[in-house]
Amino acid sequence: MLMHIKRILAASVVISAVLAQETVCNGYAELCDRKYSNVTSVGAHDSPFIGNSSMTNQDWGVSAQLDHGARMLQGQIHRQGQALHLCHTNCFIHDGGSLLDYLTQVKTWLDKNPREVLTLLFTNSDSIGVEIVKQPFVDSGILDMAYHPQSPTTAAGDWPTLASLISTNQRVVIFMDYHADHSKVPQILDEFSHFWEDPYNAVESTWPCTRDRGDSSSGMYIHNHFLDKKETLLGTDIFTPDTDKLTTTNAASGEGSLGAAIDNCVAKHTQPPTFVLVDYESHGNGSVYEAAAAANGVQYVAKGDIHPPTPAQLSHEMDDNAGEDTSDALAVALAQHLLTLTLPATLALSLLVL
């Protein structure tokens, strides 16, 4: 009899845990009934670029970024031969691996976390056709769970709630900055029809939160909260992450912090940003996620000890997110400078390898 009672109690605990989980959206029950456009989330700026060089922006791989709480992943799509890769500026400088491999990791994480809504934002400076971009999303299985609105643009007030996106398994919202075409691929949305962004490549932590790009009437906006250093080499401005100031930049409060920047945005625009993009999201033991929780008016729920990786862990992450990094500052400057010149391809290539 006693054993029977223990089994019933154990089963009750399991059922209660499952039911509790089913009332949570992106980590918080309070967010379930919020429209997608009315939630502030942290985005990992240049998510695929893992390491500690001048051309990397994160130090944990994409699965860890998601585990920590990132709910937007941003990256740059470029051609690499016949494949699409995630490269920083161009694939000579830093190749973060194939888009398909990256999306496959994301899909694996989403399958393990069915109560999460994720946003993907990609730049497309190579002007790749949207139907070509679509294929890795199909092959990874991501496109099957992507939000697909009926019209090319969705007004801020017309977005579904997080709970609705979860219940219909449209848990991935995909944006691309240029060359999206709703008539060809309705799951890949035009970024600047839905968002405006404030300036990027900031070298001072004043964070003005003023429109730099995009449609100011869209109702949603992105705050670029990553601080850079600027150097000029061979006549080319090089912006690299200011890692010396990450403790302040990623803090939840204080002068120059993410928390203070969000407060400034609210003072100017009456509502917080929909996404805040940060470098090295692990620095601050979850402080960037604490700042987002405050913007959402919820009590921050820590996801354990969030910290930068040890050298051994970083090496492992870089192996798991395989890419090629040639980002010595002089090489970067030379590559970027050559790309602006009208030179025969063979001559440019020979100069790059000197």
Q: Active-site positions?
A: 45, 88
What residue type is 63 in one-letter code?
S
Classify 81 in phi/psi space as left (phi over 0), alpha (psi -120 to 50) or beta.
Answer: left
Q: Tokens 């500690």 — which residue? A: 52
3-state secondary structure of 225: coil
Per-residue tokens: 333: 């400057």
Q: Tokens 């190749």 — which residue? A: 95
Alpha carbon separation from 145 to 4, 16, 22, 306 (Å, rounded):
42, 27, 18, 29
How many other C-beta atoms are found inside a 10 Å radius of the C-beta of residue 286? 24
The answer to whether 189 touches 172, Cβ cutoff 8 Å, is: no
How many other C-beta atoms are found inside a 10 Å radius of the C-beta of residue 184? 11
Bridge partners of residue 233, in order along the sequence: 236
Q: Which of 237, 332, 312, 309 minimizes the C-alpha distance to 58?
A: 309
CA separation for the pair 139, 129 (Å, rounded): 17
Per-residue tokens: 123: 């730049």
Let me know the angle formed at the C-alpha of 322 by 319 and 328, rounded to the nearest 5 degrees. 95
CA separation for the pair 106, 146 (Å, rounded): 13
CA separation for the pair 99, 47 (Å, rounded): 12
Q: Where are the alpha helices (DSSP H) in the chain?
A: 2-21, 62-68, 99-112, 130-140, 162-167, 246-249, 258-269, 287-296, 311-320, 329-339, 345-352
DSSP of 257-281, one letter per residue? Answer: SHHHHHHHHHHHHSS--SEEEESST
Per-residue tokens: 53: 């060089």
